[in-house]
Amino acid sequence: MNKAEFKKQETVRIEVKDLKAYYTTEQYGITKEVKAVEDVSINIEGSSFLAIVGESGCGKTTLSRVLYGAVDSNLSVVEGKVCYFFGDTKHEVSPKSNSLKNVWWKKISYIPQGSLSALNPVRKLRDIFSDLTTSHGIAFEEPRVKTHLETVNLPSYVLRMYPFELSGGMRQRCVIALATFLNPDVIIADEPTSALDVITQRDILNLLSSIQTDFKSTFIFITHDISLVPGLADIMAIMYGGCIVEFGPTESVFKEPLHPYTKFLLSTIPTIGDKTEKESIPGNPVSLTNPPPGCRFCPRCPLSKEICAESRPRLFEVDSRLHQVACWLYK
């Protein structure tokens, strides 16, 4: 990494408090609420690397959108808030305000699942970078862009190309280059390797790790693949049915998983020489339009008790290592 132009990052603190974010959908004249994020409360400080893990449809992408401030007429914050503290400056997403849009790209940037969705297909890469800089009142300097492309292992000739002319891996590197060009304090990456082959996936993960180390950014990494987390993230959150069910240092969660859902996820990681048949999680994923009143994992949990069906537990700390779980088994 070329660190010559890296600015000194401000001290960053992110507070998510009692966050509820719902989608509104309409089908056959019937309006429904999708309770995609429910009572999420987490704190992130400094240049942390947080991984948010869970199966498809659990609310990870919705949470990442709210953390980025990308709420709209279909997705709204119903209760709670997300607060970003950049040094002495505060920005907030809540039911009544959203000041994050004012600092997109400069303070906080987003790497979406599909690289094509982030790149204008009728603009060459040079023009896309020019649009980014000029929209923030910064003069476009092609030599600086070429230097930055080198930090993500891209040749300078890609500036003369359209997105569709690049491979999937090169497009994803271009998106990462755009997301990091203004040296933001917070980077949110939503399944950035989901459509890539395993070799390219490994290269992109190594690149993200290097960027986080060199830029000293706060990194939020969304993934459905829990096996990608060790060696990448220092803290992790397990998400199920719109709720965070476990949160803590990655090493602690892997060594001593607490929530039954976390244990199921870890049991699916393949190991060389292991020929035992992997068990799937019984039952079906919870409906976010009509979730159960208690723990959302209760209908699939083999260890559930009567209270699990009646009341949803909140995250609480179980030891001095900041390892938290939302499960009645530990109350």
- Residue 206 CA to residue 224 CA, distance in Å, equals 18
pTM score of the predicted model:
0.91
Strand order of the β-sheet with 108-111 is 108-111, 186-190, 218-223, 49-53, 235-240, 243-249, 324-325, 316-317
Residue type for 209, please? S
Q: Which of 172, 208, 12 is nearest to 107 (CA)?
A: 12
Alpha helices in the chain (DSSP H): 60-68, 115-118, 125-135, 142-151, 168-180, 198-215, 250-255, 260-267, 306-310
The per-residue pLDDT string of the chain (331 residues; one tens digit each, 9 = 90 and over) reads 444 344 545 689 999 999 999 998 887 888 888 999 999 999 998 889 999 999 988 999 999 999 999 988 889 999 999 999 998 899 999 988 888 888 999 999 999 887 777 899 999 999 999 999 999 999 999 999 999 999 888 999 999 999 999 988 899 899 999 999 999 999 999 998 877 788 888 888 888 888 888 888 899 999 999 999 998 999 999 999 999 999 999 999 999 999 999 999 998 887 777 777 777 788 888 999 999 999 999 999 999 999 999 999 999 988 766 899 999 998 8
Q: Which domains does the chain have, with CATH numbers?
A: 12-107+219-330 (3.40.50.300)
